[in-house]
């Protein structure tokens, strides 16, 4: 059985959605850098960045980084179709997963923790960084929509790893509201994902 360290309305929700699509059993441990407790101490021992999602496999391997976790589940549970069996289509899916984590997820890290980038700055300077990072995040989602949103990798009616990660990461920092105005078709596709029965059930369980 897997053990998933996670928090409500966090990136671990994407991994729970993937585990649900795989039909995999898992134990959920409430843990995050912002909630003190036993889970936090256990998480610190496994992931020095103290970040969720962190997944421990049945044989004790520790997996961090959303893209790597989703790829592992895709390979371990091929029937769930998290990843395509077609090598070129799969390569485009890996590109899209990497795009989301390297660009969108990274911008959210700046927005949530500007003091990590500007430790000596005053409040106004940090606010300016957050404004810039938010603008950049919204532009990154526009580009995602343009590059991937109608391409071979994008199947909101039959979600896999890319759709799940896009569905969750786009819920933060005003990205959905922005996309609703500037990329309405892509925004509507994200709402189709929100309504998928397994995605909806996990979302509701985790406070969304």
Ligand X SMILES: N[C@@H](CCC(=O)N[C@@H](CS)C(=O)NCC(=O)O)C(=O)O
For ligand X, the binding residues (CB under 6 A) are 10-11, 32-33, 50-53, 65-66, 101, 105, 109
Of 32 and 173, which CB lies nearer to ligand X in the complex structure?
32
Min separation Cβ 187 and ligand X, Å: 21
For the chain, give me the number of helices (H) and strands (E)? 11, 4
Contact between residue 206 and residue 8 where contact means Cβ atoms under 8 Å apart: yes
Of 165 and 189, which CB lies nearer to ligand X in the complex structure?
165
Give residue for tokens 């496994």: 46
Min separation Cβ 157 and ligand X, Å: 25
Burial of 81 (0-12, 13-18, 19+ CB in 10 A): middle
Of 32 and 103, which CB lies nearer to ligand X in the complex structure?
32
Question: For residues 124, 130, 136 and 142, what is the CA-based torsion angle, rounded to 10 degrees?
Answer: -130
Min separation Cβ 144 and ligand X, Å: 15
Min separation Cβ 106 and ligand X, Å: 7
Instruction: Tally the residues of the chain.
Output: 208
Of 11 and 159, which CB lies nearer to ligand X in the complex structure?
11
Min separation Cβ 132 and ligand X, Å: 19
Residues 27, 82, 204: CA angle, nearest 5 degrees: 50
Contact between residue 202 and residue 16 where contact means Cβ atoms under 8 Å apart: yes
């Amino acid at each position: 059985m897997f053990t998933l360290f996670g928090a409500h309305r966090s990136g671990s929700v994407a991994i729970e959605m993937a585990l649900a699509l795989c039909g995999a059993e898992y134990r959920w441990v409430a843990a995050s850098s912002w909630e003190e407790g036993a889970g936090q101490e256990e998480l610190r021992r496994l992931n020095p960045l103290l970040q969720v999602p962190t997944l421990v496999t049945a044989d004790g391997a520790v997996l961090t980084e959303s893209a790597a976790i989703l790829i592992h589940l895709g390979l371990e549970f091929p029937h769930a179709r998290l990843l395509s069996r077609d090598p070129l289509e799969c390569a485009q899916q890996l590109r899209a997963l990497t795009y989301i984590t390297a660009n969108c997820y990274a911008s959210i890290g700046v927005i949530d923790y500007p003091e990590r980038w500007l430790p000596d700055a005053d409040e106004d300077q940090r606010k300016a960084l957050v404004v810039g990072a938010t603008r950049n995040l919204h532009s990154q989602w526009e580009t995602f929509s343009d590059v991937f949103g109608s391409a071979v990798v994008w199947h909101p009616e039959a979600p896999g790893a890319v759709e799940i990660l896009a569905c969750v990461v786009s819920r933060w920092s005003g990205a959905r509201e922005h996309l609703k105005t500037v990329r309405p078709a892509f925004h509507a596709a994200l709402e189709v994902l929100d309504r998928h029965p397994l995605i909806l059930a996990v979302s509701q369980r985790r406070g969304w």
